[in-house]
Amino acid sequence: MIVHNVRQGSPAWMELRRGVPTASCFEKIITPTGKPSAQAEKYMYDLLAEFVLGRPLEGLKMPWMERGSELESDAALWYGFQRDVEPEVIGFCTTDDGRIGASPDRLVGEEGLLELKCPSPGVHVQYLLYPARGVDKAYYPQVQGQLYVTGRKWTDVVSYHPELPSVIVRVARDEEFIALLGSSLKTFCEELAKGKAELERRGLILQPDEEPEEFLSEADADLIIADLRQRGSYGQQPTA
């Protein structure tokens, strides 16, 4: 694992993530049940578009996401008090080859991770009623993906709400799921590399010291990616 000491959400953090499959989007590669996701191809082309545009694609920030960022520090302090630990703030982590990334909210000791969730009241009440059910299945690829990238053994997922009792759900490393995830990521990264190589061959990905001859809009990038899509489907060889 390589740790990049940048602030999450900063321009440097966004640049490190550009064109890199990250744990927060692993559900687009593999479903919570371990099946290949139908979203993988689209996700790959979105990452390729980031290479062409030279910037991350802007995502929609929902109100609950904004509230989560505001409450994250409070949630981390609450967890530290409950567990008598000092969680370590982390920036961006990648596998040793730099091809896959994750941004855990905190490191805990030598073996654990901390993932802070500040959901809507309804979702939080579900955790209060049924903590034994574990983490919401929608988060499972992300949580296991963070363990895959960092090599750690468990994640404590905190569901935090300032007006309700908070909940800690521990998720252990699932070696069977991680094996499926690793295989899916290998295929995904191979296809991503092929697409990037083709874009480079066409001169559409600039080197850091190169200046574009003209501005490339997002619409232009979409047309280029659509052309690549016609040349070959995800996971298949292009037709002649």
Token pair, residue 122, equals 């309804």
Tens-place pLDDT, residues 203-221 = 888 665 554 445 555 665 6
Backbone angles phi, psi at 144, to 5 degrees: -65, -30
Q: What is the distance between the alpha carbons of residues 144 and 94, in angstroms, rounded to a whole number?
A: 14
Cα 149 versus chain centre, distance: 10
Report residue 233 as tokens: 């489907």
Residue 190 binned pLDDT confidence (cut-offs 50, 70, 90):
very high
Q: Which amino acid is at 140?
A: Y
Predicted local confidence at residue 162, as pLDDT: 85
SS3 217: coil
Band of the pLDDT at 232, cuts 50, 70, 90?
A: low
Give CB contacts under 8 A, 24+ apart, made by 32-37. Answer: 32/137, 32/138, 32/140, 32/141, 34/176, 34/177, 34/180, 36/184
The residue to which tokens 């979702």 are assigned: 123
Residue 26: which of 153, 136, 188 has the closest Cα? 188
Whether residue 19 has pLDDT greater than 90: yes
What is the β-pairing status of strands 88-89 and 106-108?
A: antiparallel
Taking the mean position of all CA atoms in its chain, how far away is CA 210?
A: 29
CB proximity list for 20: less than 8 A, separation 6 or greater: 47, 94, 98, 99, 100, 101
pTM score: 0.83
- Straight-line distance from the first to the last Cα atom of the chain, in angstroms, rounded to the nearest whole number: 39
Residue 16 has pLDDT above 70, yes or no: yes
